[in-house]
A and B are shown apart, each in its own frame.
Chain A
Amino acid sequence: MNFNTDKRFIHFVKHRKKFFMLSLVMTLVGVILLSTLGLNLGIDFESGSRVDILADDTLTEEEVYEQFAEAGGYEPDDVTLAGDNNNMASATFIGTLSREEIAEVQTHFDELYGQEPSVSTVSPQVGQELAKNAFISVLIASLGIIIYVSIRFQFWYGLAAIVSLAHDAFFILVVFSILQFEVNIPFIAAVLTIVGYSINDTIVTFDRIRENIKYTDRLKTFDDLSYVVDLSLNQTLTRSINTVLTVVFAAAALFILGGEAIRSFSLALLIGLIAGTYSSLFLAAQLWVVWKWKQMERDRKKPKKEEPDELEPEV
């Protein structure tokens, strides 16, 4: 496996419009999905209570409903089964259970299955605060990254990197909307990890572009510029693939073997890794070429500077 020989040279930039279209369509579909299907918010973000039950034998949904009724007339709003042979169940309630109610439920299931169930409750305002904090964290992190990259590289690199990381984070949300997997606090941690990973991945290719530009004497045409980008992407291709593979090993192992508690977390990681690799190979550098070229043309035509607002990317 050697991606660096000339006959294997992949023209990443040539097909950029197809990639832009693909990402644009994905974004539109995503917006539609999110506004119709929405996300399956866990109780971390929506007020309510969740009771996780562990039994020795296989459970059925009816059985769980029955046992809740027996425990003191509780009616869970939803019951889902999990575990290797359905020996776990999570029941969610829209309202918050009081301390006495939690005690009652815990005692009942403890006596029934010999295992004390886990109970978590969130009141509405706390859930909303968590969601808000998470969103603000992402914004601040993005801002920090854009500033850092602008200083170390150039503004256009920073902007392209942020667009591609927003793409990755959004993609995770869309897939979670399709699969209706639960969105909880560890999920937010996963999205933020992907933000970090995606930027890491993009920076590695940008770093190579920056280096190759230094060694190129002639950068007159769009083809010159795109050749440098293609070269850089091809040079870093093996690294990109090997790195994503190793992290995928870890994330996939966590997803398949890691148990219920971090399933949503590791799935978000897996999806994000795939999206992150796609965006750093097919999106970030291509966006940069287009923007950089516009800027070069503008600099050549007239010395006076335009407002950056007029620089619409040709997506």
Chain B
Amino acid sequence: MNELLRVEQLGVVFHAARGRVYAVDGVDLAIAPGEVLGLVGESGSGKSVTLRAIARLLHEEAHITGRVLWQGRDLLTLPARALEQVRGAGIGTIFQEPMAALNPVLSIGLQIDESLRAHTGLDAAGRRARARELLDLVGIADAASRLRQYPHEFSGGMRQRAMIAIALAANPKLLLADEPTTALDVTIQDQILRLLLRLVSELSMAMLLVTHDLGVVASTCDRVAVMYAGRLCETGPTAQVLHAPRHAYTDALLRALPGEGAARARLQPIPGMPPRIDHPSPGCPFAPRCTHAEPRCDRERPAMQDVAPGRASACFAQDRLGVAA
């Protein structure tokens, strides 16, 4: 497969005062050009940490291991200056809370201009024209006067559009989107999702979409990766994974959805305690809550195995699930 980004055995350990937290453990991902990959999981599953680790946005108490290959280069070992060139120009990033992610005391125009100045050779007039063009692109009317305004003068949806415009300023080939609609009103969530999908296809960009909303995954993603307790459970084409899960966790997740998973719905709680990521178990982290668990699930960690073309799962019950569905 022709790959844009390849993540190999990504691990993130936070060194906190009270001990270590194993946030991400052995995650493999690959994204092809133009592809939309959904990374789905409950809060605390490590999906957002994975996204931030890819762009090396975590702070110093996070120890990252593994490799993040971008055009044959490992982003995790890239010198700071080279990394700055990849960020923004190669990989754009948008966050969950546009109000928090936009600098409150700088105008939107300046925050776009920063990216253009860093990544394009445009002169001042060229950058101004490009900034207006970007606001038009994300559907913000009256671009010229909007550029002079500050984040608090924008509505929630407009802020998210502005953040997308900033992230797209330098034409990245991959967009990392960290729960881009979670903080928004339901009516605006759809608009923003549609906008993202349109931009992905118009600009022939790939996107890693982190979400805890299976409905969002179903309606936007080509492929999906499911995470639990910092580990990858299964990956595969969205339709196949959602209709015939091959991991007990995905299965439980879908069963917990009201209305057979077709309707847009947030993840429902699964019975049992959420996993402790400060003391990782030697076996499958989902075993204590799993209805399919076998004795070895507590002791042995199931390895990621190909279960079908383009599909992989890390579950000892993968075959039984196929039958049950």
A binds B: no
